[in-house]
Amino acid sequence: MAFQFYNQTFNQYLTATAGLMFDPPIEFEMIPGTLTALMDMAESEDVDFTFASSAVSSCAATEHDAQPLVTIVNRREAQGRAYDLDQYGGVIFTLATNNEINSIHDLKDRTVGAGSITAMGGGQSQLYEMVRQGLSYVSDPKQVVFTNDETLIVQAVLDGEFEVGMARTDQIERHVDENGRHLDPSIFKIINAQIHTLEDGTLFPFKTSTSLHPEWPVMALGHVAVDVAKSVQEALLALGDHAVSIDLKRRLRCETTPAIAQLAKDCQNSGMLTGFRPARNYFSVRTKQQAAGFLNEDANGNWHCIRGETLYHDITCPDEFYKMQEKDFNRSCSLIGLECPKENYECYCKPCVHKSIAVDVFKKIQEATDVITPCEKLSACGTVEQAKIIAFRIVDRMERTGAIVTVTQRLDDRTKNLAVSQVEGEPGTYEFEFVQRETGMAIVEIAIDNIEVMPP
């Protein structure tokens, strides 16, 4: 979609303006790609400039020291009036007839759909808002769905594919039905509705549930020559003046020609933009990404953004929770009786397991190590004659690496630590033996990394 809107601006317009400032002339080419592809091309210096959402641009700045040159100014219509906007936000919405969802906290145990976990307006800004208000976008919703196209969110909520939608501001107002007619926005309820004032004192014209953040920037990577970056910046800042000369029937800039003016006008129309302004500050975007777990520090002190290619590796469970194994994560929805609404969507359902219940304990049957019976908490897990041995097996479903497993035996006021051994060839599996020479009931407490997981 972005390529279709802006290819003319970055291919033809920049080549005809900034490119002609050099001898030999420079040609510009716009290449579409995923976040991972962009970061890889930046690393190998196969790309010189980036134009992407504020979230992706924040990643380019963090990982490759890209510098913002300009911020796009979009032309949008709302309530019969045109607005020039260099900021946008995210909206969280449900059907107005849904009386059970009225606040961010009502998203707990609900089905939620967003565009992408790497998109700012259609994902990250709303998920950050959940985190800011004390919820986890990983463990609290019943199901989280990513459509990989935020333009699908509005219709998906109408169709009942999920209860709550998360989309970029203006998606509701721009959505049309099968007959090409705009919807009545009142059929939706805005969750966590906010009002924002723009720099010129007017109100932000679209419904929003989050703070506003800067529109997409054009950024120069660190290897780009200063004079080339400056020429690109100047050319993009001049686009609006070139285009408006057609309406004014006079030039605002000496370098404006009829051909450049028409090309700039065509760029405005194809990209639904007014032009570009000096770059806004994108530090607030990084702050949100870091707080919500979209930007993380590695063991060497370097910061990296999630890539959006594998949800399992992109999400982080809250403290006191472990993420289920990947094989279980991929079927986490079917485990609770749900399915992804469509095959090309990505989904997860309650993928976090509390540390206290992420462990099973089994009693071994005499001399048949492959036949085991699961134990329940706070129940009699086995009986044995005095002085005879009963064996148990601990299975850590999270397969924690380097975990410290302790087993404590309590009888009356006496305490004894039992020996625990790891089962060779079976990750996360441990065994211990229990022997008691007195009659009575003993309590066995099991802890992993100092967190009690079972008192059978």
Residues 372 and 429 in one domain: yes
Contact between 303 and 105 (Cβ < 8 Å): no
Domain closes at, from 353, 382, 406: 353
What is the Rg, in whole angstroms, of the alpha carbon atoms belonging to the chain?
Answer: 29
Residue 99 domain-assigned (yes or no): yes
Contact between 354 and 431 (Cβ < 8 Å): no
pLDDT at residue 366, rounded to an integer: 52
Residues 346 and 449 in one domain: no
Domain closes at, from 292, 326, 353: 353
What type of residue is 191?
I
Q: Which domain holds residue 366?
A: 358-454
Q: What is the 3-state secondary structure (H, E, C) of the chain?
A: CHHHHHHHHHHHHHHHCHHHHCCCCCCCCCCCCCHHHHHHHHHCCCCCEEECCHHHHHHHHHHHCCEEEEEEEEEEEECCEEEEECEECEEEEEECCCCCCCCHHHHCCCEEEECCCCCHHHHHHHHHHHHHCCCCCCCCCCEEEECCCHHHHHHHHHCCCCCEEEEECCHHHHCECCCCCECCHHHEEEECCECCECCCCCECCCCECCCCEECCEEEECCCCCHHHHHHHHHHHHHHHHHHHHHHHCCCCCCCCCHHHHHHHHHHHHHHCEEEEEECCCCHHHHHHHHHHCCEEECCCCCEEECCCCCHHHHCCCCCCEEECCHHHHCCCCHHHCCCCCCCCCEEECCCEEEHHHCEEEEEEECCEEEEEEECCCCCCCCCCCCCCEEEEEEEECCCCCCCCEEEEEEECCEEEEECEEECCCCCCEEEEEEECCCCCCCEEEEEECCEEEECC
pLDDT at residue 373, rounded to an integer: 54
Residue 290 domain-assigned (yes or no): no
Q: Can you tell me the distance from the alpha carbon of 130 to that of 210, in angstroms, rounded to the nearest whole number? A: 10
Residues 11 and 156 in one domain: no
Which CATH number does the domain housing residue 66 bear?
A: 3.40.190.10
Residues 319 and 442 in one domain: no
| Helical axes 283-292 vs 54-64, angle rounded to 10° | 90
Contact between 432 and 418 (Cβ < 8 Å): yes
Which CATH number does the domain housing residue 427 bear?
A: 2.60.40.10
Residue 105 domain-assigned (yes or no): yes
Residue 289 domain-assigned (yes or no): no
Structure tokens at 25: 């002339």
Residues 20 and 92 in one domain: no
Residue 182 domain-assigned (yes or no): yes
Which residues pair with residue 220 across a beta bridge?
A: 49, 67
Residues 140 and 198 in one domain: yes
Residue 298 domain-assigned (yes or no): no
pLDDT at residue 84, rounded to an integer: 95
Residues 190 and 228 in one domain: no
Residues 228 and 276 in one domain: yes
Which residues pair with residue 454 across a beta bridge?
A: 446
Residues 185 and 226 in one domain: no
Residue 173 domain-assigned (yes or no): yes
pLDDT in tens, the chain (456 residues): 788 999 999 999 999 999 999 999 999 999 999 899 999 999 999 999 999 999 999 999 999 999 999 999 999 988 788 999 999 999 999 999 999 999 999 999 999 999 999 999 999 999 999 999 999 999 999 999 999 998 899 999 999 999 999 999 999 998 988 888 888 889 999 999 999 999 889 999 999 999 999 999 999 999 999 999 999 999 999 999 999 999 999 999 999 999 999 999 999 999 999 999 999 999 999 999 999 999 999 999 999 999 988 899 999 999 888 888 888 899 899 988 999 999 999 999 999 988 777 788 887 655 544 444 567 776 777 777 777 888 888 888 778 888 899 999 887 778 889 999 998 888 888 999 888 777 777 788 888 888 887 654
Residues 365 and 330 in one domain: no
Other C-beta atoms closer than 10 Å to the C-beta of 378 total 10
pLDDT at residue 364, rounded to an integer: 67
- As a residue count, the chain comes to 456
Residues 323 and 444 in one domain: no
Domain closes at, from 296, 329, 353: 353
Domain total for the chain? 3
pLDDT at residue 378, rounded to an integer: 64
Which of 249, 244, 252 is CA-nearest to residue 268?
244
Beta strand 90-95 with 188-191 is antiparallel
Q: Can you tell me the distance from the alpha carbon of 82 to that of 85, in angstroms, rounded to the nearest whole number? A: 10
Which of 228, 192, 186 is CA-nearest to residue 210?
192
Which of 331, 313, 333 is CA-nearest to residue 323?
313
Q: Can you tell me the distance from the alpha carbon of 446 to that of 456, in angstroms, rounded to the nearest whole number? A: 8
At which residue do the structure tokens 């009659």 appear? 439
Residues 17 and 93 in one domain: no
Residue 291 domain-assigned (yes or no): no
